[in-house]
Structure 1
Amino acid sequence: MNAPATKVTPISGFPELLPADRLLELHFLDVIREVFELHGFAPLETRAVEPVERLLGKGGDADKEIYGISRLAGDDSGRDAALGLHFDLTVPFARYVLENAGRLAFPFRRYQVQKVWRGERPQEGRFREFTQADIDVVDVGELAPHFEAEMPLVIAEAFGRLPVGEFRIQVNNRKIPEGFFLGIGLTDVVTTLRIVDRLARVGPGPVAEMLVESGASEDQARLVLELAGIRADDLSFVEAVRSLGVSHPTLDEGLEALSAVIAAGMEQAPGVLVADLSIARGLDYYTGTVYETQLVGSESWGSVCSGGRYDSLASDGRTTYPGVGISIGLTRLVHLLVTKRGLTASRSTPAAVLVAVNDEESRGRSRAVAAALRANGIPCEVAPSAAKFGKQIRYADRRGIPFVWFPGAGDDGGDQVKDIRSGEQVDADATTWECPAADLRPTVVPPPA
């Protein structure tokens, strides 16, 4: 008796890529990892779960985003604390530092590429499950400010090697709005920052209304928006802030710190780092420099890479480990480039060669050819059936495989290889044949002009 058919229903917010797009994502990941390692960041992986209590205390509105986990059978023993899936990689990294401080060399530099989970409403480019690629530096007691300039410069190098087009890394320092708000008499800094953080999504009018509703006067709301409107790719932002006539020691500290970051950007990545005083970042643990990254021409996508400095996220009550980090939303970035800019990989398989099969009795010879090609680092696969050669060639063409290898097709009984794009077919030896470098691995294919 046949089992009843089960309808397969997609679950929104949990993306699954087709092979060509996954190969594109892996290419991005390879480039990003290479750049991270070139800068001396060590790889790290942390567990997927953290105590819910820890997650709740570290991320603003995180309680609305955390996925709790439990066994279907239940556990009444009470021995295990409530656990949740991590919503970012910074909170578990801070915990990891505390647990392993005695075995780490500081300043500690790490990169981490893992899945994270957020229980937010799925929409274009925003998912419930996605991959982040983070770098962080933490130290004991104090963290040198030059690390705050290093983070966006590493990202600028990585993005410069990827087919993302022109991009801007927007930088602010939380001490600037904090000192500015205190200087104009707004003492609820956290609430004001959260409201300003919505500026790009809802616009200045609604933000001004929310500020007034939270207790600000109309003049205070106006000044907040004037501060958020300041943007420059050089040090002119300092004078623009000063012209608003507000003073506070914390504001001075923030302007000095941000000036150092922008100055480094002007020297090493001109035009890429931009002082944007509207950048607030909603997570409460940020205390200094904050970053967001947008692709030019696609600003409506929002940020594809963000982060900032945190001074008290990792602390055991005696020792504090301040840090700074930045995170690429890899799934978000690739999804938007695929769906909006038409990027894909040149083929849907790593294989550069399909080894044809003359008949099933001779499949062993085809397997031997494939083994010889793989020994030389050439990805290949053996044809799934001994169909007519035309059908085997069409199979390769559908998958984007550029070459088909024919065992015994030469006049002397040797092998031949065919470039199915040009039709050229030549004698070849699997132990010495070299695949053209451009065809050895899948490449990024830009959209038609």
Structure 2
Amino acid sequence: MSKPTPISGFPEWLPAQRMIEQYVLDRIRNTFELYGFAPVETRAVEPLDQLLRKGETSKEVYVVRRLHAEEGDATDASLGLHFDMTVPFARYVLENAGKLQFPFRRYQIQKAWRGERPQEGRYREFLQADIDIVDRDTLAPHYEAELPLVVGDAFAALPIPPVRIQVNNRKICEGYYLGLGLTDPAAALRAVDKLDKIGPDKVVDLLVETAGASSAQAKACLALAEISTPDASFVDAVRALGVRHDLLDEGLAELAAVVETAASHTPGLCVADLRIARGLDYYTGTVYETQLRGYERFGSICSGGRYDNLVSAGATTFPGVGISIGVSRLLGLLFGANELSISRSVPTCVVVALADERHRPAANRIADALRRRGIPTEVSPTAAKYGKQIRYAERRGIPYVWFPGADGAADEVKDIRSGEQQSAVADGWVPPPADLKPTVT
């Protein structure tokens, strides 16, 4: 078989990287559960009409079909792989509304697929960790202030650079644009959302072209986007622009509560940044983007926002707020910069040595006794000379080699890093806590 060609955008981590990923997921999951979020998992596919009506471009959605589907059979062709967790979660809530208790707090850690151009930290198959809070008919705004706290605590539990969560409120932008006299605030939002990608001059042109703005109105939109403060002083800065609208007032109050709540929980966690818009059409209130300090050039690693109109059944609506951690994106950036390492490339803590193959059953019994007490253990693959068995452990970073006693002598365990060797019994010996599991730094 010829050497396979890698497929770009579909990461496959090495074992040490995969263990780091599991470590990260465990701590994220633990934080989510500390805040009372319950786990769910949804199917990988959704109807295409549902995927395409939420503001996502059709070019990024992968279609699912059988290789030998009969001609004219459109059953599979109407399905696509989900590109995020929000759309499938909305459908899940609608289907299970009679079985759920509201407000419903859920977390979801799954793969998603998006057919965009692969680049550093951006993939076509990627892992996300999402939380959402959904209620029936109304959702209190204090939940919008809670989500940054959860994310801040999740990141603080990881050995990664600090993060900064940029927050805005779509009501501020839409109310401001309406106060300026623009009749298509959604088009203005989409234009301003491209500010970092195309620059202010081209955004002005885009506002004039797509949102019907005059040159003066376009420049006023940019003036709003330039406001960024680490506290609630953004309210005065917006007021100073002289634009008035009830929706603007509502958004300012909601965003001030988010920033002040975050500041009391973790000073410096959030900053009000009024250029943050989020491109998806379903956001209606607070929106979030998260920068990893030192990696700002790569964009957001954690995003989301408030949505009021994504889920409805007749006259009943299910407004929600959610945020998504791009786990693959985060790890890809840190792996690429060699910022994460692990103390050993296997979970094993102890290798039980073999004097010869006749003693393998006895070695297996020792390994079983250690495993029963939660100590990851393997038996040496061969009964080579002890020096080779020790080197087998050294190459994998395994800290201990266990030598079964011969002719009634006591067993001994050796710390191969220090050379220290001591008598031990499999039913009682325990390694130092730092050696039990691989350590991520």
For the aligned pair, the TM-score class normalised by the smaller chain equals over 0.9
Residue 67 (structure 2) pairs with residue 72 (structure 1)? yes
Q: Distance in 2 between matches of 1:6 and 1:338?
A: 28
Q: Distance in 1 between matches of 2:303 and 2:74?
A: 38
1:357-436 paired onto structure 2 within 5 Å: 357-408=354-405, 413-436=409-432
CA contact (8 A) 1:350 1:379 kept: yes
CA contact (8 A) 2:65 2:77 kept: no
Stretch moving more, 41-50 or 400-409:
400-409
Amino acid corresponding to residue 187 of structure 2 in structure 1: T
Query: How many residues align structurally?
Result: 439
How far the C-alpha of 1:332 sits from its partner, in A, is 0.7
CA contact (8 A) 1:403 1:418 kept: yes
How far the C-alpha of 1:412 sits from its partner, in A, is 5.3
Stretch moving more, 388-397 or 33-42:
388-397
Q: Distance in 2 between matches of 1:304 and 1:395?
A: 39
Q: Which residue of 2 aligns with 1:356?
A: 353
Q: Which residue of 1 aligns with 2:87?
A: 91
1:23-422 paired onto structure 2 within 5 Å: 23-58=19-54, 60-75=55-70, 76-78=72-74, 82-214=78-210, 215-408=212-405, 413-422=409-418
Residue 3 (structure 2) pairs with residue 10 (structure 1)? no
Stretch moving more, 342-351 or 107-116:
342-351
Q: Which residue of 1 aligns with 2:438?
A: 442
3-state SS in 1 of match to 2:312? coil
3-state SS in 1 of match to 2:361? helix
Q: Distance in 2 between matches of 1:387 and 1:199?
A: 64
CA contact (8 A) 1:55 1:62 kept: no
How far the C-alpha of 1:94 sits from its partner, in A, is 0.6
Output one character per residue of 1:366-385: Cα deviation in whole Å (capped at 9) or x when no partner. Answer: 11111011011001111211
How far the C-alpha of 1:221 sits from its partner, in A, is 2.2
How far the C-alpha of 1:249 sits from its partner, in A, is 1.4
3-state SS in 2 of match to 1:344? coil
CA contact (8 A) 1:312 1:322 kept: yes
How far the C-alpha of 1:77 sits from its partner, in A, is 4.5
How far the C-alpha of 1:185 sits from its partner, in A, is 2.4
Q: Distance in 2 between matches of 1:208 and 1:122?
A: 29
How far the C-alpha of 1:230 sits from its partner, in A, is 0.8
3-state SS in 2 of match to 1:290? strand
How far the C-alpha of 1:207 sits from its partner, in A, is 2.5
Q: Distance in 2 between matches of 1:78 and 1:298?
A: 44
**Structure 1: where are the runs of 5+ without partners?**
none
CA contact (8 A) 2:139 2:320 kept: yes
Shift in alpha-carbon separation, 1:204–1:381, aligned structure 2, 3 A: farther
CA contact (8 A) 1:51 1:81 kept: no
TM-score with structure 2 setting the length = 0.96
Q: Distance in 2 between matches of 1:430 and 1:50?
A: 52
Amino acid corresponding to residue 91 of structure 1 in structure 2: V
Q: Distance in 1 between matches of 2:287 and 2:413?
A: 54
Q: Distance in 2 between matches of 1:198 and 1:347?
A: 43
Amino acid corresponding to residue 279 of structure 2 in structure 1: G
Shift in alpha-carbon separation, 1:391–1:208, aligned structure 2, 3 A: farther
Output one character per residue of 1:185-228: Cα deviation in whole Å (capped at 9) or x when no partner. Answer: 22222222122222223333333333334343332222212211
Amino acid corresponding to residue 298 of structure 1 in structure 2: Y
Shift in alpha-carbon separation, 1:370–1:231, aligned structure 2, 3 A: same
Q: Distance in 2 between matches of 1:81 and 1:201?
A: 34
Q: Distance in 2 between matches of 1:272 and 1:98?
A: 34
How far the C-alpha of 1:81 sits from its partner, in A, is 6.6
3-state SS in 1 of match to 2:219? helix
Q: Distance in 1 between matches of 2:351 and 2:225?
A: 57
3-state SS in 2 of match to 1:397? helix
3-state SS in 2 of match to 1:50? strand
Q: Distance in 2 between matches of 1:255 and 1:24?
A: 40
How far the C-alpha of 1:61 sits from its partner, in A, is 3.0
Shift in alpha-carbon separation, 1:292–1:341, aligned structure 2, 3 A: farther
3-state SS in 2 of match to 1:212? helix
Output one character per residue of 1:32-57: Cα deviation in whole Å (capped at 9) or x when no partner. Answer: 11111111111100111000011111
Amino acid corresponding to residue 204 of structure 1 in structure 2: P
3-state SS in 1 of match to 2:317? coil
- For the aligned residue pairs, the C-alpha RMSD in angstroms reads 1.5
CA contact (8 A) 2:177 2:185 kept: yes
Q: Distance in 1 between matches of 2:176 and 2:273?
A: 15
Shift in alpha-carbon separation, 1:300–1:341, aligned structure 2, 3 A: farther
Q: Distance in 1 between matches of 2:195 and 2:67?
A: 42
Amino acid corresponding to residue 62 of structure 2 in structure 1: Y
Q: Distance in 2 between matches of 1:141 and 1:254?
A: 19
CA contact (8 A) 2:66 2:76 kept: no
Shift in alpha-carbon separation, 1:52–1:22, aligned structure 2, 3 A: same
How far the C-alpha of 1:80 sits from its partner, in A, is 5.5
Amino acid corresponding to residue 161 of structure 1 in structure 2: A
Q: Distance in 2 between matches of 1:226 and 1:91?
A: 33
Q: Distance in 2 between matches of 1:366 and 1:201?
A: 61
Q: Distance in 1 between matches of 2:141 and 2:321?
A: 9
